[in-house]
Structure 1
Amino acid sequence: MSTHEPDPQATPDPDAPPTPPAAAAVATSRAEPPARTAPTTEQLLAGFARDYLRDRRSERRWRIFFRASWLLIFVALAWLVNTQNQHSAAPNGPHTALVELRGEIASDTEASAEFMLSGLRDAFADAGARAVVIRINSPGGSPVQAGIINDEIRRLKAKHDKKVYAVVEESCASGAYYVAVAADEIYVDKASIVGSIGVLMDGFGFDQVMAKVGVQRRLLTAGENKAMLDPYSPLSDKHRALAQDMLDQIHRQFIDTVRAGRGKRLKETPDTFSGLFWNGEEAVRLGLADALGNLDYVAREVVKAEEIIDYTPKENVAERLAKRFGAAMGESATHALRSLPAMR
């Protein structure tokens, strides 16, 4: 039995019965595939909009999640800091009040006058505090900040009629020693670093480097000394002399403060105020310190109040987070470019 395939190019027979719709569709599908219409610009834009909104919703959810997480972390840190700031025991009896002086003495550190004065005032004001101990581990720093702390210690001593003892750990140099001499007595470890009674101002000069590479400094000032100590300009003899006079005046203030604080106990030598430093054992021999001893020894044997309560204020959480997440970088750059007198 043979089958006859219709010729697609043949002329339709007018007398032939009409082709059923289904058969016509089959015949059409066999003849050619349906054409695919390209998406219009509106459809593409709508698709992009849907994808963008989906991504934005996902991004917003993650952002809310991270913000909530940081909020929880912040609350937890605040609670921890608040707990740490509480005194180890309620100051309801005789005790030794402790205030820590650690790190560089500067306006933006935990050894700043602002932090130190807050702790010192609380320690002196507590009726249960038999004496105040300042435990020091610092290389020095700003003469201004050190001078403010020294002045306030002497004022609080007179106001509250309480003894102040300085206890040195690793280092009590320069500006830190400026603070220590306000105490009634200074105790050190035999290997502590003590002294460095001097002032310095450091920086860099780039004028010769700029000349070698062909860079011209264009600096306009109103005031002949306004550009004094500019690192990109040569240092003139006049400006060098002016800077040295300023350092000498600050050094003289430092010397006077040490003499006033140590009195006849100080055994001056030509090196005493030269910027040299000594170990604790030698510092005792030179009268820069009074005796060997640590915090527990002073509380137990000197103050006669073995319980120690820490009044040192702590840096708040917001400042700590700000420094950790970016602000510390700008702070470091500022320190690197700073050219101010320092006791260290």
Structure 2
Amino acid sequence: MLNRISKLAGRRPHVAVVRLQGMISANGSRGVLSAAGVAPMLNQAFKRGRPVAVALAINSPGGSPVQSSLIGAQIRRLAEEKRVPVHAFVEDVAASGGYWLAASADDIWVDSSSITGSIGVISAGFGFPELLARYGIERRVHTAGEDKSILDPFRPERAEDIERLKSIQARVHSSFIDHVRARRGHKLATDRDLFTGEIFVGEEAVSAGLVDGIDHLVPRMKALYGDKIVFRPFRQRRPLFQRLVPNVLEAGLQGVEERVAWARFGL
């Protein structure tokens, strides 16, 4: 009993290091960040052993705005409930939804070559109506409600569909802007528009007020919490079934989508 008490008394304070890496999507497959997928990891990080702080190691090109919002909201709930400070550290990129996650922290630190920003909304796809016509393929769609089949890739685009999509994007963009302003407040530069979807590299993001400075996780945490601080890593775990029986087709399609997302930032 005395040995156990001695060990507890001598336990060194620790920082929980949470890795948030990959695209953000609701599908929850391998290498993807989703609210449901990261929830157990976040709960453990904030609650296990009473950490003095939580450090988010972020490397994400973004993805679903809803999943980004849900993950960011969970980070804030846990931080306020446990009264634990949260620090974000950007690796290659924290753009779009990745920056949404970073902005959920109390401060943001980047490498001199890290990419941040891209505060905007994008929707991309393909259209095949001429290809179908060339091969004599007829598209048959029957709906109840004229707007049920908007943006059908096998039919020519309609102006009213594009207008409706842009209206949706504008509302999502507004929510993104509100989140950044609420979290970064007076730190944001006022002499330029930061919400055009532009990306920022290293010191540019510092000057714009999107991040707090150039630094890396270990030295910054030691500077704040002492050289004897212990780092306890937390990673997202896939369900056992996914680990034992991988879906090759899904993994292949996801790989293409992820490659396109990273390529937008030259990575």
Q: TM-score range by the shorter chain?
A: 0.7 to 0.9
Matched, 1:308 2:235: no
Matched, 1:155 2:77: yes
Report the TM-score when normalising by structure 2.
0.85
| Structure 2 SS opposite 1:253 | helix
Per-residue CA distance 1:195-232 (angstroms, 9 max, x = gap): 11111111111112222333222211111111111110
2:250 is matched with 330
Give distance in 2, aligned partners of 1:294 and 1:130.
18
Matched, 1:290 2:212: yes
| Structure 2 SS opposite 1:228 | coil
Matched, 1:93 2:12: yes
Distance change (3 Å), C-alpha of 1:264 and 1:114: same
Distance change (3 Å), C-alpha of 1:223 and 1:185: same
1:237 is matched with 159
| Structure 1 SS opposite 2:23 | coil
- Measure how far apart 1:334 and its partner are: 7.6
Distance change (3 Å), C-alpha of 1:328 and 1:237: same
One-letter code aligned to 2:25: A
- Measure how far apart 1:317 and its partner are: 4.2
How much identity, in percent, do the aligned residues show?
37
| Structure 1 SS opposite 2:182 | helix
How do 1:56-71 residues align onto structure 2 when only pairs under 5 Å count? none
1:112 is matched with 34
Q: Of Structure 1 and Structure 2, which has the larger fraction of its residues in helix?
A: 1
| Structure 1 SS opposite 2:148 | coil
Per-residue CA distance 1:234-275 (angstroms, 9 max, x = gap): 111111111110011001100000100101001145441111
Q: How many residues align?
A: 246
Give the unaligned 5+ runs of structure 1.
1-89, 338-343
- 1:249 maps to which of 171, 187, 211: 171
One-letter code aligned to 1:313: Q
Per-residue CA distance 1:42-74 (angstroms, 9 max, x = gap): xxxxxxxxxxxxxxxxxxxxxxxxxxxxxxxxx
How do 1:47-196 residues align onto structure 2 when only pairs under 5 Å count? 92-107=11-26, 108-109=28-29, 110-196=32-118
1:197 is matched with 119
Contact between 2:46 and 2:82, CA under 8 Å: does it hold in 1? Answer: yes
How do 1:19-38 residues align onto structure 2 when only pairs under 5 Å count? none
Give distance in 1, aligned partners of 2:250 and 2:77.
36
1:259 is matched with 181
Give distance in 2, aligned partners of 1:163 and 1:218.
55
Single out whichever of 304-313 and 255-264 deviates more from structure 2.
304-313
Give distance in 1, aligned partners of 2:121 and 2:224.
33
Give the unaligned 5+ runs of structure 2.
1-7, 258-263
- Measure how far apart 1:278 and its partner are: 1.1
One-letter code aligned to 1:237: A
1:8 is matched with none
Distance change (3 Å), C-alpha of 1:269 and 1:207: farther
Per-residue CA distance 1:147-196 (angstroms, 9 max, x = gap): 00111111112111110000011111100100111100001001001111
Contact between 2:12 and 2:229, CA under 8 Å: does it hold in 1? Answer: no
Distance change (3 Å), C-alpha of 1:240 and 1:135: same
One-letter code aligned to 1:154: R
Matched, 1:320 2:223: no
Distance change (3 Å), C-alpha of 1:236 and 1:287: same
One-letter code aligned to 1:179: L
Cα RMSD (Å) of the superposition?
A: 2.2
| Structure 2 SS opposite 1:129 | coil
Radius of gyration: which is bigger? 1
Contact between 1:92 and 1:128, CA under 8 Å: does it hold in 2? Answer: no
Q: Of Structure 1 and Structure 2, which has the larger fraction of its residues in strand?
A: 2
Single out whichever of 153-162 and 164-173 deviates more from structure 2.
153-162
- 2:146 maps to which of 188, 213, 224: 224
Give distance in 2, aligned partners of 1:232 and 1:276.
32
Report the TM-score when normalising by structure 1.
0.67
